[in-house]
Structure 1
């Protein structure tokens, strides 16, 4: 079972890494992620959502992207929470709803997702879409983004 799981995950990851060409490899990667996602694997749910959101190996399908990202986001995946926030902010599959976007960005930001922290900082800095302007929150979020960046740079050097 572990061998099968690792093989499926590797096959799917190869597509995302760009080692496959649009062909049988794409279908195999999609199938691998789909099977894992159906079985409850949160990382695979997020990957499927990203694939449908960005058209990676599949046609862009915001409805399917939303479905898989919502599953993963509700299971606590920070990347899925961030991406779901962008779907709400930009009105992809759903009507634009900045309050819901902020909700998902905050969940992702609390887990250290730098992109969610950045998007929240902009929203609070500008007071976008009825969200109250809050420079203190914006500054704190930018500080968190910088700390994340510094931490990533440190790990990259080691």
Structure 2
């Protein structure tokens, strides 16, 4: 994979440090394969992250949101297996994991559910009213022009 040097952008931009850091992190790490996950768009401003956590119970999973980072951790509780049960082949992974997702500004976690071995984390982007675009009305004449027109009309009527 190619490595891009973003140093010139750091020197000529202000306020984009977080974006460039994310690009550097994306280039630096290879995509880990465990556990697999999906990111879905469920509405105009709604998203869902689904993580395959087969074999994990609710008390073995931890979801944490800190600033704009969503972290999902799983750690299996150690169980004493019975002596009579010998595992001949173990294909179901039961190792600890940690998945980290960078969230955009104004994205909030609405809730999480665990069903059929899938952990669903529902997200919604709620843009504050002050940040939303708004229409600015254009006034054809200024208030002083209207006042002058009013004075001219009253003199003409007299």
| TM-score band, normalised by shorter chain | under 0.3
Relative contact order higher in (CA < 8 Å, ≥ 6 apart): 2
| Structure with the bigger percentage of strand | 2
Taking structure 2 as the reference length, the TM-score comes to 0.24
TM-score (norm. length: structure 1): 0.24
